[in-house]
Amino acid sequence: EVQLVESGGGLVQPGMSLRLSCVTSGFIFEDYGMHWVRRTPGKGLEWVSGMSWNSGRIEYADSVKGRFTISRDNAKNSMYLQMNSLRPEDTALYYCAKGMDPGETTMLYGFDMWGQGTMVTVSS
Amino acid sequence: SYELTQPPSVSVSPGQTARITCSGDALPKHYAYWYQQKAGQAPMLVMNEDSERPSGISDRFSGSSSGTTATLTISGVQAEDEADYYCQSADSSGTYVFFGGGTKLTVL
């Protein structure tokens, strides 16, 4: 059974940092692109960042570029999101999502498996 | 920044057909993907590459794309279909992923 489990969310003040983790099981992690997607209250889903299977391709949404850093550890079947200089508008439920197509180096695919999310609240 | 436009809400009676549209200038170039998200649950892929139904998804769900509009069609709508639906695609360069604003499907 494929599982994706996020952790690391919490309540932080503006300007502070958080590191999210996504631990996976049930599939060959090193073969698939992985992404972070957030759902903000009242605004729906927003893609945050994605990374190809071999870490050769990394992309960020404009809203987080320069503040967030995505990474993965294939030996641990895990993905991470380092979030710095957090803003109130970053408040959201953060999901990790698995790309559908193995070995794909673009971002042109759907996400066939999702975690349950970890909540990040940025407020003073 | 690229935008995918969906109607905020669609309402249908049980047994009727619901059609949810997604408009974007780059849709002639890139596939659309559709997700269903029920309250308190993670999104679930219900349509892949415009019109391919993933394993386990009811055949009441179908998809199409023409020009700058992709459409998710749900035939014989049931109460269990009530959810938020999101389209996903890429900008013209194929570099970035975008989601539509979401459509709340209400079963009357």
Nearest CB neighbour to B86, from listed A35, A44, A117 = A44
State the smallest CA–CA distance between residue B34 and chain A in angstroms: 8
State the smallest CA–CA distance between residue A96 and chain B in angstroms: 10
Q: Which of A26-35, A63-72, A74-83, A102-111 has the lowest mean pLDDT?
A: A102-111
Q: What is the pLDDT of residues A15-41, one digit of tens each?
A: 999 999 999 999 999 999 999 999 997
Rounded CA separation A63/A69 (Å): 13
Are B100 and B2 contacting, i.e. CB atoms less than 8 angstroms apart?
Answer: no
**pLDDT beyond 90 at A103:** no
**pLDDT beyond 90 at A107:** no
Q: What is the pLDDT of residues B40-84, one digit of tens each?
A: 999 999 999 999 999 999 999 999 999 999 999 999 999 999 999
Residue of A5, A58, A111 to mutate when probing chain B, most B C-beta within 10 A: A111
Give the pLDDT band of residue A90 (cuts 50, 70, 90): very high
Residues 6+ apart with CB under 8 A from A81: A19, A20, A22, A36, A48, A49, A68, A69, A70, A94
State the smallest CA–CA distance between residue A7 and chain B in angstroms: 15
**Residue B56: closest CA among chain A residues belongs to which residue?**
A112
Q: What is the mean pLDDT of residues A56-65?
A: 96
Nearest CB neighbour to A115, from listed B42, B44, B101 = B42
The pLDDT value recorded for residue A95 is 98
Determine contact: B36 vs chain A, CB below 8 A: no
Q: What is the mean pLDDT of residues A82-101?
A: 97
Q: What is the mean pLDDT of residues A71-83?
A: 97
The whole-chain average pLDDT of chain B stands at 97
The pLDDT value recorded for residue A28 is 97
State the smallest CA–CA distance between residue B37 and chain A in angstroms: 10
Torsion over CA: A36, A34, B24, A117 (sign): negative
Count of C-beta atoms within a 10 Å radius of residue A12: 18
Give the pLDDT band of residue B100 (cuts 50, 70, 90): very high
The pLDDT value recorded for residue A33 is 96
Residue of B1, B20, B97 to mutate when probing chain A, most A C-beta within 10 A: B97
The whole-chain average pLDDT of chain A stands at 96
